[in-house]
């Protein structure tokens, strides 16, 4: 006789697969911290314009290569955040612009001030920004400025938006290709499998950068920012899908032999229903983990290509384009703050790696591995 | 084993053929061709080319023929060992790239040597002293190695060299050897310049390799046969070298195949940052100019070198892993 446990007066707590995954993921402390960091970075992606203190494209030669400006929090013992105004002057003796701080004047830094106009989340126009100097947005340069006097902090915030979304878009596209082709390869086997595996092997044995360079160089110079962005995503995912395809195929091959799949077959379940009900849920977490681990490669690729001038092009702003400004060591030695965009690049790559590791360890909640 | 060898060689040939088509398509992809970009350049200099001369140029470079025909001509010449002539530079391709190709290989090989020389001892140390202070330190360094893209590392090395030593640490040869014929002194100069690019290029792969070796060795060390050997009084060093290390070394050789495409790729970007005289700058400008023979040949040669390197690593694996020799699969 089959009786439910409740009939014995026992209440059973059940946890879904996702709850178990989450419980195990939480044990990986570094992964949790990284997840929070990534959440923060994608918040920056959403709110880039709001967080920026100045128009990232506004050129002002008199502000070229301004060093980072500290915000003083205290004033005469009271809390009054302010900056000292900086003025740049060309010094004919050293052939360089020299920026002088005026320690007597104080410009108050306030929260929620009006600045340049933008569309909030593409919904409505506004000019509200998180912080800045009221009425004089250009007076504040948290991370200094570049050679054209554009505010590096504001550009960095906008570059984060581009670089993190292009990686995501590339991974989503690779995911579609990888899951479809890897799934077909693993489920049907035979000749299709052999063909797809050969293609993957060939793609993996080609050095990627010459290939990317070739494809990127093929993009006409007069294409708009959006079009280049889109094509670059496609180029990145052309290679990126191979690893995902292998992972999915491997999983399918293993799962096909599982007892519960055999049981489902014996109970007369159709192929489509087996794939949908049993195989897809079982590989989802692995696919997500692999995709997370594929993201850093995408970010590195975009950054490297843009850095060489073959990826995104100005007026687009991305981490790679910002690092282009730091290409000359002689320039860099005098203005080390130009290297600031390297910090989010490294942080994002590491964070995606840790989260991916954590997800991979947690992906199979029913295995006994801890 | 013979079947495996045959299949592997066939696959390498197939890959090279696929790469040749890909490189050809790459050059054909941009709108226009070499002559159109040449005509544009002439026009921008104020000396436009008369239309009949344009036609002559097209015929001379074979651009009036269909793409498939041009691919066959290119391949036919390549098979006879004729790499063609660069359209822009007017120099034989073989002349432009010979030195640079060797330097590219030298940099990549140096990076592989660096990877192995560092990853092997560090991986072993991290595994047998798991959770020690040294293990944590190396783990931390590995994360740094994974997190810093190599062009950024190159930039950082150049910056620090400039700030600390006031020296340009880029390049592969001292100024006086750049145009000198190859001799022992020039080779020694090259070897002295190699460590820094090798470090920059090899760090990412090294970090990855250390993690793999450590994980594999830890798996092996917890197996019963190790305990048996220890119980029988085998010394710790012999115990380690006898079996666990040999098993754990497998991925070292097998990943070498994928390490090579990765390093050749990386060397292109690192070369641009550290101004190394490899094929990278030539490839970049040739791609921009749609210089078919130069760009196509470079992409193809880089691909071939990679495929051959992968083949060698697979043959090595065949030698050290009996499972492949007897079963024909890895």
Say if strands A86-91 and A124-133 run parallel, antiparallel, or are unpaired.
unpaired
CB of A187 closer than 8 Å to CB of A256: yes
Max mean pLDDT among A102-111, A153-162, B67-76 falls in A153-162
Nearest CB partner across the interface for B143, out of A201, A323, A350: A350
CB of A127 closer than 8 Å to CB of A50: no
Segment A159-171 shows an average pLDDT of 89
Measured between beta carbons, the chain B residues lying within 8 angstroms of A307 are: 151, 269
Nearest CB partner across the interface for B31, out of A210, A220, A347: A220
Cα A16 to Cα A285: distance, rounded to the nearest angstrom: 13
In the predicted structure, residue B328 carries a pLDDT above the cut 60: no
Over residues B191-242, the pLDDT tens digits come to 888 888 999 998 888 888 888 888 888 888 888 888 898 899 888 888 888 7
The reported pLDDT for the residue numbered B330 is: 42
A:286-305 residues touching chain B, CB 8 A cutoff: 296, 300, 303-304
- Phi (first) and psi of residue B28, to 5 degrees: -80, -20
Q: How many domains does chain A have?
A: 2
What is the SS3 assignment for A129?
A: strand
In the predicted structure, residue A369 carries a pLDDT above the cut 50: no
> Which among B262, B252, B310, B315 has a CA at the least distance from the CA of B12?
B310
| Beta bridge partners of residue A67, listed in sequence order | none
The reported pLDDT for the residue numbered A36 is: 94
The mean pLDDT value of chain B amounts to 81
Cα dihedral B143, B145, B146, B151 in deg (nearest 10): 150
Cβ contact, residue pair A339, B155, below 8 Å:
yes
The two structure tokens encoding residue A82: 């302010």
Neighbours of A6 (CB within 10 A): 9
Range of the domain at A68: 63-145
Cβ contact, residue pair B258, A204, below 8 Å:
yes
Segment B28-55 shows an average pLDDT of 75
Total-model pTM: 0.81
CB of B272 closer than 8 Å to CB of A310: no
The reported pLDDT for the residue numbered B323 is: 66
Over residues B279-294, the pLDDT tens digits come to 888 888 887 776 767 8
Output DSSP code: residue A370: -
Position B327 confidence tier, pLDDT thresholds 50, 70, 90: low
A211-234 exposure pattern, b = at least 16 Cβ within 10 A, e = fewer: bbbbbbbbbeeeeeeeebbeebbe
Position A9 confidence tier, pLDDT thresholds 50, 70, 90: low
Over residues A86-107, the pLDDT tens digits come to 887 788 887 778 888 887 888 8
User: Is residue A262 a part of any domain in this protein?
Assistant: yes
The two structure tokens encoding residue A101: 């701080």
User: Is residue A1 a part of any domain in this protein?
Assistant: no
DSSP A333-360: HH-GGGGTTHHHHHHHHHHHHHHHHHHH
The reported pLDDT for the residue numbered A370 is: 37
Measured between beta carbons, the chain B residues lying within 8 angstroms of A336 are: 159
Higher-confidence residue of A284 and A343: namely A343
In the predicted structure, residue A291 carries a pLDDT above the cut 50: yes
In the predicted structure, residue A244 carries a pLDDT above the cut 80: yes
Position A368 confidence tier, pLDDT thresholds 50, 70, 90: very low
Chain A interface disruption, residue of B149, B169, B289, B307, most A CBs within 10 A: B149
In the predicted structure, residue A63 carries a pLDDT above the cut 50: yes
A221 in the same domain as A136: no
**What CATH number has the domain spanning B95-284?**
1.10.3720.10
The reported pLDDT for the residue numbered A34 is: 92
| Beta bridge partners of residue B142, listed in sequence order | none
Nearest CB partner across the interface for A214, out of B266, B299, B310: B299
Cβ contact, residue pair A336, B159, below 8 Å:
yes
B:170-229 residues touching chain A, CB 8 A cutoff: none
Cβ contact, residue pair A353, B29, below 8 Å:
no
Over residues A129-143, the pLDDT tens digits come to 888 887 676 778 888
Cα B111 to Cα B205: distance, rounded to the nearest angstrom: 9
Chain A interface disruption, residue of B27, B147, B207, most A CBs within 10 A: B147
Domain boundaries, chain B: 95-284
The two structure tokens encoding residue A347: 């942080």
Cβ contact, residue pair B162, A220, below 8 Å:
no
Of A145, A178, A202, the domain-final residue: A145
Cβ contact, residue pair B29, A210, below 8 Å:
no
Judged by average pLDDT, the poorest of A5-9, A64-68, A75-79, A345-349 is: A5-9
Cβ contact, residue pair B268, A346, below 8 Å:
no
Total residues found in chain A within this entry: 370
How close, in Å, is residue A154 to chain B by CA atoms?
A: 21
A254 in the same domain as A188: yes
Over residues B34-46, the pLDDT tens digits come to 677 777 777 777 7
CB of A349 closer than 8 Å to CB of B149: yes
Measured between beta carbons, the chain A residues lying within 8 angstroms of B168 are: 329
Determine the Cα angle at A56 with ends A52 and A62, to 5°: 115
| Beta bridge partners of residue A75, listed in sequence order | A78
The reported pLDDT for the residue numbered A2 is: 58
Q: What is the ipTM of this complex?
A: 0.78
Q: Chain A residue with minimal CA distance to B30?
A: A218
Segment A157-164 shows an average pLDDT of 91
The reported pLDDT for the residue numbered A367 is: 53
Chain B interface disruption, residue of A208, A214, A236, most B CBs within 10 A: A214
How close, in Å, is residue A196 to chain B by CA atoms?
A: 13
The reported pLDDT for the residue numbered A39 is: 94
Nearest CB partner across the interface for B159, out of A210, A323, A333: A333
A206 in the same domain as A108: no
Chain A interface disruption, residue of B34, B265, B307, most A CBs within 10 A: B265
Q: Taking CB atoms and an 8 Å cut-off, how many pairs form between chains A and B?
A: 126
């Amino acid at each position: 006789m089959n009786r439910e446990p409740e009939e014995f007066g026992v209440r059973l707590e059940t946890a879904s697969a996702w709850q178990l995954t989450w419980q195990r993921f939480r044990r990986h402390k570094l992964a949790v911290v990284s997840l929070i960091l990534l959440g923060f970075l994608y918040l920056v992606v959403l709110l880039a314009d709001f967080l920026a203190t100045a128009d990232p494209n506004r050129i002002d030669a008199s502000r070229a290569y301004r060093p980072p400006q500290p915000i003083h929090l205290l004033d005469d013992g009271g809390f009054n955040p302010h900056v000292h105004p900086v003025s740049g002057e060309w010094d004919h003796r050293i052939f360089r612009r020299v920026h002088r701080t005026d320690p007597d004047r104080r410009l108050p830094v306030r929260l929620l001030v009006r600045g340049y106009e933008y569309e909030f989340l593409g919904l409505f126009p506004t000019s509200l920004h998180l912080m800045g100097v009221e009425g004089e947005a250009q007076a504040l340069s948290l991370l200094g400025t570049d050679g054209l006097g554009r505010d590096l902090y504001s550009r960095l915030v906008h570059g984060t938006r581009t670089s993190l979304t292009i990686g995501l878009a590339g991974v989503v596209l690779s995911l579609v290709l990888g899951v479809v082709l890897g799934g077909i390869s693993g489920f049907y086997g035979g000749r299709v499998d052999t063909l797809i595996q050969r293609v993957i092997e060939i793609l993996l044995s080609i050095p990627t950068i010459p290939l990317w360079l070739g494809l990127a160089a093929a993009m006409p110079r007069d294409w708009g920012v959006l079009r280049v962005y889109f094509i670059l995503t496609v180029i990145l995912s052309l290679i990126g899908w191979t690893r995902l395809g292998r992972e999915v195929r491997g999983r399918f091959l293993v799962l096909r032999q599982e007892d519960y799949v055999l049981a489902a077959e014996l109970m007369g379940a159709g192929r489509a229903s087996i794939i949908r009900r049993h195989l897809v849920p079982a590989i989802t977490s692995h696919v997500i983990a692999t995709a997370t681990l594929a993201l850093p490669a995408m970010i590195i690729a975009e950054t490297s290509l843009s850095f060489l001038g073959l990826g995104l092009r100005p007026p687009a702003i991305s981490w790679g384009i910002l690092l282009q400004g730091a290409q000359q060591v002689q320039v860099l030695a005098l203005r080390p703050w130009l290297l600031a965009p390297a910090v989010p690049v490294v942080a994002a790559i590491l964070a995606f790696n840790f989260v991916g590791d954590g997800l991979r360890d947690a992906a199979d909640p029913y295995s006994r591995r801890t | 084993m013979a079947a495996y060898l045959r299949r592997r060689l066939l696959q390498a040939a197939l890959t090279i053929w696929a790469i040749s088509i890909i490189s050809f398509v790459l050059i054909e992809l941009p709108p226009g061709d070499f002559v159109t970009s040449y005509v544009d350049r002439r026009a921008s200099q104020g000396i436009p080319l008369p239309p009949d001369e344009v036609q002559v140029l097209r015929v001379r470079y074979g651009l009036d023929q269909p793409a498939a025909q041009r691919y066959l001509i290119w391949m036919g010449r390549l098979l006879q060992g004729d790499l063609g002539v660069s359209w822009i530079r007017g120099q034989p391709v073989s002349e432009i790239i010979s030195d640079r190709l060797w330097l590219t290989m030298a940099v990549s090989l140096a990076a592989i040597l660096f990877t192995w020389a560092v990853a092997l001892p560090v991986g072993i140390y991290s595994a047998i002293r798991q959770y020690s202070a040294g293990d944590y330190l190396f783990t931390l360094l590995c994360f740094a190695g994974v997190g810093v893209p190599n062009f950024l590392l190159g930039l950082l090395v150049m910056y620090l060299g400039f700030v600390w030593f006031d020296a340009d640490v880029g390049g592969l040869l001292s100024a006086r050897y750049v145009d000198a014929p190859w001799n022992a002194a020039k080779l020694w100069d090259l070897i002295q310049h190699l460590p820094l690019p090798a470090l920059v290029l090899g760090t990412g792969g090294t970090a990855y390799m250390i993690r793999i070796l450590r994980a594999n060795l830890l798996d092996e060390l917890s197996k019963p046969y190790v305990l048996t050997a220890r119980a029988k009084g085998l010394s710790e060093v012999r115990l380690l070298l006898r079996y666990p290390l040999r098993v754990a070394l497998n991925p070292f050789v097998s990943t070498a195949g994928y390490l090579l495409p990765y390093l050749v790729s990386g060397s292109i970007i690192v070369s641009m940052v550290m101004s190394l005289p490899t094929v990278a700058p030539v490839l970049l400008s040739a791609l921009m100019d749609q210089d078919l023979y130069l760009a196509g040949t470079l992409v193809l040669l880089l691909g071939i070198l990679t495929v051959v390197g992968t083949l060698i690593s697979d043959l090595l694996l065949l030698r050290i892993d009996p499972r492949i020799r007897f079963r024909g699969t890895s």
